Chains A and B, each alone.
Chain A
């Protein structure tokens, strides 16, 4: 499947990907201003920029082939779509127990405590074809959306 990969050598650490991701997953997906100023709770990005100067890179759910989070989920809310390969969390069934946070080796699942507590994670903007918003908006092309095949995949 296509995944988002970071090119750390050209990432400037600007965190624009976080801003666009948070907006795209907010109540106002088309307006950064409205998403951050009008939404009652602060929008949460599902991508995370790690910084240890001068190094920086963005990281999000890897949509693992055999995902720890779907296997460990106590409610069955976290599932991998067998067709697209995208791992998503059914927030209506999630109880915020954070078992997925415990088992995700990438630290890619966030806690959304703005309402009913739920695990929040990258959904590849819920498609497996066009560029997710983080890739689309990165000013340095530090994120690419591609199929990289590695042994066994």
Chain B
């Protein structure tokens, strides 16, 4: 194979689309241990809630692989990578040769050590199969405990409420969505979920899952409270699925280490997405940024490079758009700064659950929270990405109708008359 891609989610698909843009001919093989045509991981909570039908779960059209001439191997596991021989060995016993290899192996759920993980009714919430497992016995669950009040945990909570299951969310931090919201915004979101019946136990965690027979019967919390439940979803977070890389002797840190061209320490092996450590332009360091837009963009850029181009990946930063029970929020970058080099500007209308916060550093926008009123938030994301000096229009950033009319004329015309390349 000229190109071998391991992983069939956003980074893997981005890689294929990137390769094909440059090289329409070279042979591509894609290997995934999941049995599905590429599907959207963020949609699994929608699927569970019955809001997205199975045929709408797919991330690309049914003829995607055919059209791009991809040799697709589903339900096959890569057992080992041999970087010096440029081969991988598969669970089927086959050995596949490659010229360039992409590791887009994604993340895996973080499962903390605790007694009771073996009971039936303990789930993670990352893959389609995870929600299919929950769905299989959904009628038997009356009360569920979700460990973790991050994006995954709260999306799971929203879906379970829709299925009329009583939900308690246990979270170690002092607030919900602590990675993307500050206290004030988090409280508004928490209240919205509480209004729908979700209960929260913050500054707390599950110490033990209890069972009766072989099934979950409850949990014991750190503060020694006992909660009855018949299922537990562990949604603490994801960690890079890097074992293959580690065993093959690639340079790994928290994730697989890549350079500005998405190459690992072996020049013909690339990595992208949740498994890799890309450059964060705000924190000015390499970090794992497990978000879909970042995964696709890295894969796409790496695809170009695998096909012979020399394209730098300029880096990214954390950003999320998500809604719970109709309350939308868009956040990006550093949202809760902890030093005096940052300035914050805040606008709130608590009667409407509106909250907007802007975070500045050295006259540049480095973070924002837009809760409920999210329209045109991408203009802010763009100012962050392009590291625009905001000094001349700083006082307008919180205007309700903030837009290009408030930006310097030269910048506006350059942006609107041309079409920027990323």
Given contacts A71-B14, A74-B42, A95-B51, whether A101 and B59 have CB atoms under 8 Å apart is no
- Complex-state Cα separation, A6 to B405, whole angstroms: 12
Given contacts A59-B404, A71-B14, A95-B43, whether A102 and B376 have CB atoms under 8 Å apart is no
A3 within 8 A of B: yes
B422 within 8 A of A: yes
Which of A6, A76, A111 contacts B40, CB < 8 Å? Answer: A76
Kindly provide the distance from the CB of B416 to the nearest chain A CB, expressed in whole angstroms.
Answer: 7
A33 within 8 A of B: no
Stretch at the interface among B101-109, B122-130, B315-323: B315-323
Kindly provide the distance from the CB of A105 to the nearest chain B CB, expressed in whole angstroms.
Answer: 3
Give the chain B neighbours of A93 by CB distance below 8 A.
56
Minimum CB distance partner of B414 in chain A: A150
Which of chain B's residues 12-34 have a Cβ closer than 8 Å to chain A? 14
Kindly provide the distance from the CB of A91 to the nearest chain B CB, expressed in whole angstroms.
Answer: 11
Which of B43, B56, B379, B406 contacts A74, CB < 8 Å? Answer: B43
Which of B292, B328, B418, B420 contacts A72, CB < 8 Å? Answer: B292
- Complex-state Cα separation, A48 to B378, whole angstroms: 15
Instruction: Count chain B residues whose beta carbon lies closer than 8 angstroms to a beta carbon of A.
Output: 48
The reply to whether A101 and B376 contact each other, CB–CB distance below 8 Å, is: yes
Give the chain A neighbours of B61 by CB distance below 8 A.
76
Which of chain A's residues 44-58 have a Cβ closer than 8 Å to chain B? 48, 50-52, 55-57
Stretch at the interface among A21-29, A34-42, A61-69, A131-139: A61-69
The reply to whether A103 and B381 contact each other, CB–CB distance below 8 Å, is: yes
- Complex-state Cα separation, A139 to B420, whole angstroms: 29
Q: Which 6 pairs, one residue from A and one from B, show the smallest C-beta to C-beta distance?
A: A105-B382, A107-B376, A72-B293, A52-B405, A104-B378, A102-B321
Interface residues of A (CB under 8 A from B): 3, 5-6, 48, 50-52, 55-57, 59, 62-66, 68, 71-72, 74-76, 92-93, 95-107, 109-111, 148, 150, 152-153
The 26 sampled A-B contact pairs (Cβ below 8 Å) are A48-B403, A52-B405, A55-B405, A64-B419, A68-B378, A72-B296, A75-B40, A76-B60, A76-B61, A92-B56, A96-B323, A97-B323, A98-B321, A99-B293, A101-B330, A101-B378, A102-B320, A102-B321, A102-B377, A105-B378, A105-B379, A105-B382, A105-B415, A106-B379, A148-B417, A150-B419
